[in-house]
């Protein structure tokens, strides 16, 4: 019997949703594992550690075993499952057998049993097959190697430094892959437990230092890949379109240039020689200053296909981002609508991308706002593999200072139904990708509750139909196994509606932005109004909102298939929460809710703050009974900041609109 210690009994790392106690129901039992594939060693080490700690036993055999009546829990490779990642769970009178076609499936099955806890053995008999909804479940890290002068170690990172890269002495060029990768081992384990199977290591804004991950640093990338491999996760890199120039000394990056084509093919050969199961490249091209094929008069299909051909012999993928828009727009120009940009650039290219290209589309047409309509690009490219891109890191949703549980938003997006073309889940044939939210912070995510977002992203990417509330329960039961029930209730009270609460006290009715330019934290109603970024609200003394109708506006509403085109075009049918995204209306416009726009703005902003004040009370009530005092304090500190910030949002937004409109609050509350 293998009794090696748990790979995560380290005091310096918060166990997140995998504390040792979460394994106790397995650890108390007689467990058998049959099979000898690489991930079975991972599985065996997990079970050996928990059975050693909790009094159970582990029996191993190399051969494939049938159901073993002597055991409580059997893991065995068997051809029964439909694909490599699926698993079958059979429970008969309290004995559980997990079978899978591959070791990857068995590992997923193991974590499924962990999630079930004692119920895995006590629930009624069952015979179920579990399969992931999509094959590619990706986390994108926006980690920098050198400390970026504005973005720091992790672009839009709110949880300390990069877990992958050590910034050295902070001088340009001194960043490198960390020597000590133990934290990555813990991270890989967490990700495997929620079904993530791909990780991109570095920022899509590829600076000079990170560009060299593709060349000089390959042995170090290989060290990271070795760790992820033990958990069934493949590594990807973001690459610069200009790599042939930056790294190869070529004069151009023209995708039609033979030298460039050869350079990428050689680069791919080197990468796969170092890392045989390397996943592929992520690329942000012609976007926010990143180089791309436009410079050579080529389009994005030309660019993506050239890279795709370079990686195809190795079975590699290219994740090509559709986040392309003009960020040097003239705010005086009312004809250019940033919301249209991805659609206008990409939908004409449908059908031209190679099979190993995945066009990665942000969920909304703008940029990860608290509320946006679902991107029409998702329904406009039926002959292209599309990935839905979400943002787990809370750039625009409180930066992990505010408690905002994002799973309800993601559920809404995933279930959004484009009618005949299908739901977002059905259209995301290239899977899901999301920007990660972890760092070197002791709780991984800054706000301990932001762990729930990472957890929920992984679980939803496996099962997009899972309910946000049930996932929160799962996360709570695993993360706080010893917590008294009132603590779990308090976390629910805070998180259940936290996304809507955040929406209430920030930019109203889908109009978006209104954040401080640059860092994007806190309110600044006109911060972006006269800038080149294309993010406007057009508030004046009479009204607010962006006219994106076909009849009188930018025509954006017309990019949706029916029925959405008509729903969004019409003031009568446009949902309240998206009204100002699609329409410019007077402050006196009456919403479906029966309130005027101006009164809605005042009411939601007062109510949003009141809700956060209730969150503070809810946490104070239970804080003393949370066994982990540091965690309890961290949550309390963040809630205090959330109240402060929410009040600032309320007062700036309400004051702005009171001064613009001259219309008083019907309830006479204080506005400045």
The residue ranges that bind ligand GCV (CB under 6 A) are: 142, 155-156, 204-205, 284, 288, 323, 367, 395
Smallest gap from Cβ 141 to ligand GCV, in A, equals 11
Smallest gap from Cβ 146 to ligand GCV, in A, equals 15
Which CB atom, from 367 or from 603, has the smaller least distance to ligand GCV?
367
157: number of CA atoms within 13 Å, CB side?
A: 26
- C-beta separation of 381 from 364 below 8 A: no
Alpha-carbon distance of 206 to 200, in angstroms, equals: 12
| 3-class secondary-structure state, position 306 | helix
Peptide bond into 42 cis (omega under 30): no
- C-beta separation of 145 from 202 below 8 A: yes
288 is catalytic: yes
Please provide the DSSP assignment of 214-263 as one string.
GTTTHHHHHHHHHHHHTTT-EEEEE--TTHHHHTT--S---TT-HHHHHH
Give the DSSP H or E segment for 154.
Answer: strand 152-154
**What's the Cα-to-Cα distance from 656 to each of 528, 539, 596, rounded to whole Å?**
15, 10, 17
577 is catalytic: no
Residue partners of 463: CB distance under 8 A and separation at least 6:
132, 133
Smallest gap from Cβ 345 to ligand GCV, in A, equals 14
Which CB atom, from 211 or from 598, has the smaller least distance to ligand GCV?
211
Catalytic residue among 103, 210, 395, 603: 395
Catalytic residue among 103, 299, 309, 367: 367
266 is catalytic: no
Residue partners of 535: CB distance under 8 A and separation at least 6:
338, 366, 367, 512, 513, 528
330: number of CA atoms within 13 Å, CB side?
A: 4
Smallest gap from Cβ 204 to ligand GCV, in A, equals 5
Smallest gap from Cβ 480 to ligand GCV, in A, equals 33
Which CB atom, from 277 or from 288, has the smaller least distance to ligand GCV?
288
- C-beta separation of 82 from 71 below 8 A: no
Which CB atom, from 395 or from 441, has the smaller least distance to ligand GCV?
395
Phi, psi of 64 (to 5 degrees): -75, 125
Smallest gap from Cβ 427 to ligand GCV, in A, equals 20
Which CB atom, from 142 or from 353, has the smaller least distance to ligand GCV?
142
Q: Where are the beta strands (DSSP E) in 71-151?
A: 73-77, 87-92, 95-100, 126-130, 137-140, 143-148
Give the DSSP H or E segment for 357.
Answer: strand 357-362
Alpha-carbon distance of 343 to 378, in angstroms, equals: 9
Smallest gap from Cβ 96 to ligand GCV, in A, equals 43
Catalytic residue among 127, 226, 277, 288: 288
Alpha-carbon distance of 391 to 287, in angstroms, equals: 17
Which CB atom, from 152 or from 481, has the smaller least distance to ligand GCV?
152
Which CB atom, from 195 or from 373, has the smaller least distance to ligand GCV?
373
The strand pair at 143-148 and 152-154 is best described as: antiparallel
Which CB atom, from 155 or from 474, has the smaller least distance to ligand GCV?
155
| 3-class secondary-structure state, position 305 | helix
Which CB atom, from 148 or from 650, has the smaller least distance to ligand GCV?
148
As a whole number of Å, the end-to-end CA separation of the chain is 70
| 3-class secondary-structure state, position 312 | helix
- How many residues are listed for the chain in this entry? 672
Smallest gap from Cβ 142 to ligand GCV, in A, equals 5
Active-site amino acid positions: 288, 367, 395
């Amino acid at each position: 019997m293998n009794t090696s210690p748990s790979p995560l009994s380290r005091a310096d790392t918060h166990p997140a949703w995998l504390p040792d106690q979460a394994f106790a129901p397995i650890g108390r039992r007689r467990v058998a594992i049959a099979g000898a594939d690489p991930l079975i060693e991972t599985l065996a080490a997990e079970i050996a550690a928990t059975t050693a700690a909790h009094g159970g036993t582990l029996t191993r055999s190399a051969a494939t075993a049938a159901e073993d009546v002597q055991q409580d829990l059997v893991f065995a490779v068997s051809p029964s499952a439909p694909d490599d990642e699926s698993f079958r769970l059979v429970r008969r009178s309290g004995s559980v057998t997990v079978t899978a076609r591959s070791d990857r499936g068995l590992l997923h099955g193991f974590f499924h049993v962990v999630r079930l806890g004692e119920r895995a053995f006590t629930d009624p008999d069952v015979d179920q097959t579990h399969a992931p909804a999509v094959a590619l479940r990706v986390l994108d890290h926006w980690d920098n190697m050198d400390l970026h002068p504005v973005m720091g170690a992790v672009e839009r990172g709110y949880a300390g430094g990069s877990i992958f890269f050590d910034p050295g002495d902070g001088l340009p060029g001194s960043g490198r892959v960390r020597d000590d990768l133990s934290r990555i081992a813990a991270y890989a384990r967490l990700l495997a437990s929620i079904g993530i199977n791909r990780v991109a290591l570095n920022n899509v804004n590829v600076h000079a230092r990170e560009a060299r991950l593709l060349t000089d640093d390959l042995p170090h990338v290989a060290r990271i890949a070795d760790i992820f491999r033990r958990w069934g996760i493949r590594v990807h890199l973001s690459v610069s379109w200009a790599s042939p120039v930056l790294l190869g000394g070529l004069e151009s990056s023209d995708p039609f240039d033979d030298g460039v084509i050869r350079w990428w093919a050689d680069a791919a050969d080197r990468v796969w020689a170092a890392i045989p199961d390397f996943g592929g490249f992520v690329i942000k091209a012609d976007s926010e200053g990143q180089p791309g094929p436009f410079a050579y008069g080529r389009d994005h299909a030309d660019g993506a296909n050239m890279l795709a051909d370079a990686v195809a012999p190795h079975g590699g993928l290219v994740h090509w981002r559709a986040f392309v828009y003009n960020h040097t727009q003239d705010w005086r120009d009312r004809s250019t609508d940033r919301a249209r940009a991805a659609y206008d650039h990409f939908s004409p290219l449908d059908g031209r991308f190679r099979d190993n290209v995945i066009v990665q589309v942000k969920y909304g047409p703008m940029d990860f706002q608290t509320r946006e309509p679902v991107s029409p690009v998702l329904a406009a490219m039926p002959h292209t593999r599309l990935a839905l891109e979400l943002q787990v890191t809370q750039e625009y949703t409180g930066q992990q200072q505010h408690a905002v549980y994002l799973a309800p938003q993601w559920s809404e997006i995933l279930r959004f139904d484009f009618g005949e073309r299908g739901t977002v889940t059905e259209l995301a044939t290239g899977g899901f990708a999301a920007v990660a939210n972890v760092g070197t912070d002791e709780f991984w995510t800054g706000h301990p509750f932001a762990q729930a977002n990472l957890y929920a992203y992984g679980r939803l990417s496996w099962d997009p139909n899972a309910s946000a509330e049930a996932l929160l329960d799962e996360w709570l039961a695993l993360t706080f196994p010893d917590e008294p029930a009132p603590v779990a209730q308090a976390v629910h009270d805070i998180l259940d509606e936290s996304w809507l609460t955040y929406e209430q006290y920030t930019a109203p009715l889908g109009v978006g932005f209104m954040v401080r330019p640059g860092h994007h934290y806190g309110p600044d109603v006109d911060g972006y109004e006269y800038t080149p970024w294309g993010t406007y609200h057009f508030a004046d003394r009479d009204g607010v909102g962006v006219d994106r109708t076909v009849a009188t506006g930018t025509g954006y509403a017309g990019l949706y298939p029916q029925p959405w085109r008509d729903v969004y075009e019409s003031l009568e049918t446009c949902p309240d929460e998206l009204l100002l995204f699609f329409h410019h209306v007077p402050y006196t416009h009456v919403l479906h809710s029966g309130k005027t726009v101006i009164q809605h703005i005042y009411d939601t902003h007062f109510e949003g703050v009141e809700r956060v004040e209730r969150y503070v009370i809810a946490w104070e009530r239970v804080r003393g009974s949370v066994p982990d005092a540091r965690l309890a304090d961290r949550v309390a500190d963040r809630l205090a900041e959330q109240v402060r910030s929410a009040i600032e949002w309320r007062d700036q937004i309400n004051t702005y609109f009171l001064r613009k409109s001259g219309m008083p609050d019907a309830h006479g509350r204080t506005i400045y």
